[in-house]
Amino acid sequence: MSDQNTNPRTEWPLWEIFIRGQHGMSHRHVGSLHAPDAEMAIKNARDVYTRRNEGVSIWVVEAEKITASSPSDKGPMYEPSQSKVYRHPTFFDIPDDVGAM
Amino acid sequence: MYAQMVKSENTDSGPELDAFQARIDAGEKIEPKDWMPAGYRKTLIRQISQHAHSEIVGQLPEGNWITRAPTLERKAILLAKVQDEAGHGLYLYCAAETLGVSRDELTEMLLDGRMKYSSIFNYPTLTWADIGAIGWLVDGAAIMNQVPLQRTSYGPYARAMVRICKEESFHQRQGYDIMMKMAQGSEAQKRMAQDALNRYWYPSLMMFGPSDKESVHSAQSMKWRIKINSNDELRQKFVDQTVPQAEYLGLTVPDDNLRLNPETGHYEFSEPDWTEFFEVLNGNGPCNKERLEARNKAWDDGQWVRDGMMAHARKKAARAAASKVAAE
């Protein structure tokens, strides 16, 4: 903390911005920006990402707080679900006579 | 273009590189955490930040007319347009940052001249008609380049381009709207519109950069899909699209050699003066010094604001932490 105070030239932290485009939709990642704190990040996000009614709600998350999966884990992470085809409804043959199901 | 003569680097080889190239050839997007050759990363940082710097510096010639726009409506429109340019710069800086550089580093490289911005923004805006010409020609040329870049191989860059393209067409139309008004106005206004076209025609053609038929950099960038079309291809497309628009305005493109080739269906036109282009790129254009001075002044004058806001944020956070401890 004191270290940071003696170095006022620190760059503003990076924030990831998520916007709900319309009522009923999830928030979606739209990009990032720099701001001194969360409150300013929301204000900046309004100017940078919603100049044309692109949103009804904004989330901001400090970029360094995000933990992401690593691309090299892609195999072990998602492989197990590939062998479980029975999780999809199309796995089961239902006779046409049964009707919509 | 907004990124002109970007030098590409190719220093890697090996099986990783082959796998990487195969992904690009298959049309896959490369994302920030994926493995990428050092040359790809370096070239992209250079290209995206040059593009970002151009958006930021590009605010200056137009900002020159905000206080002198002929009507309140024109002023509000121009203000919105210049604000968009700031937004475009920010989308692009954030795309560049995913490659491992910080925005402040990039800004400093612009300010001390290590990084470049497009040659076009080193020309002055002498009359209101220049604002029309910039929207019509300069943004028109930018769109030619940016539309294909929406399909570029680097995910964050492609997504920034999608946002930019959505907004860019407003820019071009507002420019053409100004030109229409002027071209249909008094004799003096018509002369002003013609004069703006005369001065901005060749600098706009230069935006695409010199012919890249023999350029090694272009070949590498195209292989990586961070450049989609050749400079000549885009320039031709721009001329083919723009000449009829000039005719509609009743203005004359300042080129005696301009003619439609009935066989190819394309216009033949004179090359811009490439000596002038290199002079402008090397810092000797009409406004290079002024533009960089304005950016440096804005950066220096804003320092206390950036510092103050950071100090305020820290104080607020410390106070919140202290009151939390007290409550416990």
DSSP letter for each residue of B58-115: THHHHHTTGGG-SSHHHHHHHHHHHHHHHHHHHHHHHHHHTTT--HHHHHHHHHTTSS
Q: Running DSSP on this structure, what letter comes out for residue B226?
A: S
One-letter amino acid for residue A41 of the chain: A
DSSP for B261-274? -TTTSSEE-PPP-H
| C-beta atoms of A71 and B84 within 8 A | no
One-letter amino acid for residue A100 of the chain: A
Chain A closest CA to B29's CA: distance in Å?
Answer: 13
| C-beta atoms of B309 and A9 within 8 A | no
Query: Which residue among B35, B80, B91 sits closest to A31, beta carbon to beta carbon?
Result: B91
B66 Cβ neighbours under 8 A, 6+ residues apart: B75, B78, B79, B82
User: Token pair of B267, please?
Assistant: 């216009």
Contact between A96 and A51 (Cβ < 8 Å)? no
Q: Under CATH, what is the fold of the domain A3-65+74-98?
A: Ubiquitin-like (UB roll) (3.10.20)
Query: Which residue among A11, A48, A51 sits closest to B102, beta carbon to beta carbon?
Result: A11
| C-beta atoms of B33 and A68 within 8 A | yes
Residues 249-308 of B with CB under 8 A from A: 306-307
| C-beta atoms of A36 and B34 within 8 A | no
B33 Cβ neighbours under 8 A, 6+ residues apart: A68, A70, A71
Contact between A27 and A45 (Cβ < 8 Å)? no
| C-beta atoms of B309 and A52 within 8 A | no
Q: Which residue has the tokens 């920034």?
A: B160
Query: Which residue among B94, B309, B310 sits closest to A33, beta carbon to beta carbon?
Result: B94
Q: How far apart are CA A23 and CA B21, in angstroms?
A: 41
Residue A33 parent element (H or E): strand A27-34
Q: What is the pLDDT along chain B (328 residues), one digit of tens a residue?
A: 577 777 777 666 788 899 999 999 999 999 999 999 999 999 999 999 999 999 999 999 999 999 999 999 999 999 999 999 999 999 999 999 999 999 999 999 999 999 999 999 999 999 999 999 999 999 999 999 999 999 999 999 999 999 999 999 899 999 999 999 999 999 999 999 999 999 999 999 999 999 877 677 788 999 999 999 999 999 999 999 999 999 999 999 999 999 999 999 999 999 999 999 999 999 999 999 999 999 999 999 999 999 999 999 999 999 999 988 887 7
Mind listing the pLDDT tens digit for each residue in A36-93?
Answer: 999 999 999 999 999 998 999 999 999 999 998 877 777 777 877 778 889 999 999 9
Instruction: Please name the residue of chain A whose CA is at the shortest distance from the CA of residue B88.
Output: A48
Mind listing the pLDDT tens digit for each residue in B99-129?
Answer: 999 999 999 999 999 999 999 999 999 999 9
Q: What is the pTM of this model?
A: 0.90
The strand pairing partners of B260, in sequence order, are B267
> Is B151 in the A-facing interface, judged by CB distances under 8 Å?
no
Mind listing the pLDDT tens digit for each residue in B121-152?
Answer: 999 999 999 999 999 999 999 999 999 999 99
Residues 126-145 of B with CB under 8 A from A: none
Mind listing the pLDDT tens digit for each residue in B176-206?
Answer: 999 999 999 999 999 999 999 999 999 999 9
| C-beta atoms of B167 and A52 within 8 A | yes
**ipTM of the modeled complex:** 0.87
User: Token pair of A48, please?
Assistant: 């940078």
HSE-CB of A51 using CA atoms within 13 angstroms: 19
Q: How far apart are the first and last CA of chain B?
A: 59
Instruction: Please name the residue of chain A whose CA is at the shortest distance from the CA of residue B302.
Output: A9
Which pLDDT does position A3 carry in this prediction? Answer: 43
Contact between B171 and B164 (Cβ < 8 Å)? no
Which pLDDT does position B6 carry in this prediction? Answer: 75
Chain B closest CA to A9's CA: distance in Å?
Answer: 7
Residues of chain A neighbouring B34 (CB-CB closer than 8 A)? 71
Q: Running DSSP on this structure, what letter comes out for residue B121?
A: G
- The candidate with the shortest Cα–Cα distance to B127, out of B202, B77, B60, B62, is B62
Chain A closest CA to B163's CA: distance in Å?
Answer: 9
